[in-house]
């Protein structure tokens, strides 16, 4: 039997979860809602994250544009995704939500602009 403790990040409450793995059967304690139970089990089976970063910005008032993924990325792919994001470039103007990298690593997840930037 394996017991792991994690703080839930599904909502602002931040329940302290205690996740037990007993022969690939998962039990979650400490959650105040069903979403916390789902989060705890998924965090053990395949952890994932929304990525935020910055890409190079040309022709804009700043040198980097904040970006984020449109959905979660498996934790095992985070490093590879960040390498791609790190070398990406975009030219202003950019609207918030514009796709900067489509379908990163064939995950079905896009990297989009997190803010609007006008050109110089």
- For the whole model, what pTM was predicted? 0.79
Overall average pLDDT of the 49-63 stretch: 96
Question: Which pairing describes strands 25-29 and 48-49: parallel, antiparallel, or unpaired?
Answer: unpaired
64: in domain: yes
SS3 81: helix
Q: Which domain holds residue 61?
A: 52-113
Nearest to 74 by CA among 51, 95, 48, 52: 48
Number of domains in the chain: 2
Task: Look at residue 23 in the predicted model and tell me its pLDDT.
Answer: 87
Task: Look at residue 75 in the predicted model and tell me its pLDDT.
Answer: 92
62: in domain: yes
Query: pLDDT tens digits for 88-120?
Result: 999 999 999 999 999 999 999 999 999 999 998
- Residue 108 belongs to a domain with what CATH number? 3.10.530.10
Residue 109: C-alpha distances to residues 16, 80, 91 (Å): 29, 14, 21
100: in domain: yes
Do residues 17 and 59 both lie within one domain? no
Residues β-bridged to residue 57: 90
Residue 101: C-alpha distances to residues 10, 42, 93 (Å): 26, 26, 16
Do residues 39 and 7 both lie within one domain? yes
Residue 1 has pLDDT above 80, yes or no: no
């Amino acid at each position: 039997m394996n017991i792991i403790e994690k703080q839930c990040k599904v909502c602002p409450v931040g329940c302290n979860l205690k996740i037990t793995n007993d022969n690939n059967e998962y039990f979650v304690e400490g959650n105040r809602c069903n979403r916390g139970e789902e989060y705890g089990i998924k965090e053990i089976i395949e952890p994932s994250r929304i990525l935020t970063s910055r890409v190079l910005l040309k022709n804009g008032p700043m040198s980097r544009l904040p970006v984020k993924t449109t959905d979660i990325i498996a934790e095992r792919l985070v490093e590879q995704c960040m390498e791609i994001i790190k070398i990406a470039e975009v030219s202003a103007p950019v609207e918030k939500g514009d796709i900067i990298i489509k379908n990163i690593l064939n995950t079905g997840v896009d990297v989009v602009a997190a803010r609007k930037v006008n050109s110089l």
